[in-house]
Chain A
Amino acid sequence: MNKGSKRLLTITQNGLLFIYAIFALFPLIWMVLLSIKSDTQMYTTTFNFTPTLSNYTEVLLKTDYFKYLLDSLIVAGGAVIISVIAGVPAAYALARYDFKKKEDIAFQILSFKFAPEILVVLPLFMIYQTLGLYDSYFGLIWVYQLISMPLLIWVVRGYFEDISVEIEHAAQVDGYSWYQIFFKMLLPLIKPGLVSAALLAFIFAWNTFTFPLLLAGSKIQPITVAITKFLGTDTAHYGQLAVAATVSALPAIIFALCIQKHLVRGLSFGAVKG
């Protein structure tokens, strides 16, 4: 290939990427633009306007927006914490021990990831009504496990499998008990992976819509459900809607940036090492 056609190829490649980049990133930029536009300029101009923070003050200070964020934080955070406490030892056992039904159990846990959410929600709605768990933090945290637990167990299992079993043997020989080995040797080793898996599970839990839509009511309103309320009003304040969307997306995006290195592995449940 001569120099000229190689150059042409590079330009074409960059050009194609640029077109896709506009498609993928423009909506986000536009969302931020809308959020700093006043209602009066909303319809008249596209890029030419005086930025204002009035939408932000409206949404953040005059609505229950922080309460929604807090609800999301409690429910998603609670789910992730429980998943970590219960899931990490399980991931270890599934990685290390050879016991009966091991692969069945592991696959069972994974199959929840693929279970239709509505299938869980419909009967759970009845159970929750009966038990008084409907519209409660605990009820939501419990069902959010469906999102966070399989992810955590499968991803962390892979990280445990990466640690040579001889390291554990060496620690046993050195005189450490199983608990000491687990907490002092293994957990520090998988910490980066564990933190990323937990953050990714948090992002997914934070973003989920179906569960809170159907199992939360007026008391608890995670942000994904609450945001639709900004859409519902007749005289739509698009700027405020954009603020609600932008702010709710921020934690997920920030966390995603923190865990970039481990993202592929987390997204593929450990199947692609990345």
Chain B
Amino acid sequence: MSTTSNSITPDLNKLPFKTRIRPYLIVAPALIITIGIMIPFIMAIFLSLTNYSFRRPTFSFIAFQNWSRILSSREFWHALWVTIQYAFFSTLVEMVLGVCIAMLLNSLNNWFSKFLRVALIFPLMIAPITATIVWQLMLNSSVGIVEKFLNIFGVFNFPWAAAPSTAMLTVVMIDMWVNTSFVMLLVLAGLQSLPKSPFESAKIDGGSAWFNFVNLTLPMLKPSLYIALLFRLMSALQEYAIIFGLTKGGPGDTLMNLSLTSYQTGFKFQRIGQSLPYILVLWIIVFFTAKFIVKKQRAAQRQAAGLES
């Protein structure tokens, strides 16, 4: 420690090295692990430019051949269309239903709603693959309970996943069964943390229930809604387990989305190089959609904060 008075050296105003590097030091282990997982991402980009296959020991660089071939193939556009359809329908249904259930639960305060607040998290906690299997059993035409139920209404042998026309409906329904609770939980938490005072002043002003919902509840709920949308949409865009468990993409190629197509090309047909453009396109879609929603969410949060005060 220097005791010479008044000699102001720059060192005196800098934290010790040990203290300065501490943040980096303690982030490092987590970063190393995540970077370790990042390597495949970079490799994926490189390999998509090669003709790599599990069958051959060597591979060569073929530039954009894979890409041009895939982007001009019917499989790709079909897979993209399936991906978008699936993501759109499942997210839409889950958001709408999730909000409705949350509002119902929020408006009631009896033992039934209290029980449901807990019980409705079960579907969310079960492995999607397990949920798919259970639904498969339920929809099964010989032991399935759903068939027996539909028979009451005179509907026989509803094809569910077996027919191209109803396969999408079936997977979306299962996704909805698993994930509606997610939206419900987030919205319910959002509803319960709404500040009381704006509603009280609205009451004095005598606004209608619908007016209050549109002008107060919805804007203040928006941040939570965007978070729910973000998580649901991102996971629906890349859904794999439910479709794989139910039909492996069938019947035919009805449910072959980008994830499944990529998986099939890579593992079943063992053409790694060709399988990657599918999934890289999906990555790009996911990345920009996520960025967009996060931006929207931040704006909504600022707006909601403005309403509260």
Contact = CB atoms under 8 A, between A and B. Distances in A.
A16 to B, nearest CB: 6
Interface in B109-151: 110, 112-113, 116, 118-131, 133-138, 142-143, 145, 148
Q: Please classify how large the interface on chain B is, using the bins under 10, 10 to 19, 20 to 34, 35 or more.
A: 35 or more
Contacts of A108: 34
A227 B129 contact: yes
Given A90-B30, A203-B125, A248-B127, A115 B286 contact: yes
Contacts of A214: 263, 267
Dominant SS among interface residues on chain A: helix
A209 B129 CA distance: 7
A74 interface: no
Interface string A189-222: 0000000000000010011111001100000000
A260 B131 CA distance: 21
A271 interface: yes
Nearest to B23: A97
A125 B148 CA distance: 44
A164 to B, nearest CB: 19
A144 to B, nearest CB: 10
B254 interface: no
Contact of B47 (A25, A123, A255): A123
Contacts of B259: 116-118
B134 A245 contact: yes
Given A90-B29, A123-B43, A264-B189, A21 B116 contact: yes
A143 B34 CA distance: 9
B176 to A, nearest CB: 9
B218 interface: no
Nearest to B135: A27
Contact of A256 (B23, B125, B237): B125
B272 A207 contact: no
B44 interface: yes
Given A23-B177, A34-B137, A149-B33, A43 B186 contact: no
A205 B169 CA distance: 28
Given A30-B138, A264-B186, A224 B240 contact: no
Contact of B143 (A31, A111, A125, A238): A238
Given A122-B266, A127-B40, A93 B116 contact: no
A117 B260 CA distance: 11
B91 to A, nearest CB: 14
Given A87-B30, A122-B44, A207-B128, A24 B177 contact: yes
B283 interface: yes
B227 A271 contact: yes
9 contacts: A24-B120, A27-B123, A27-B177, A89-B27, A109-B30, A118-B238, A127-B39, A227-B133, A264-B185
Given A42-B143, A93-B24, A123-B44, 6 more contacts: A30-B137, A89-B29, A108-B34, A119-B262, A207-B125, A256-B121
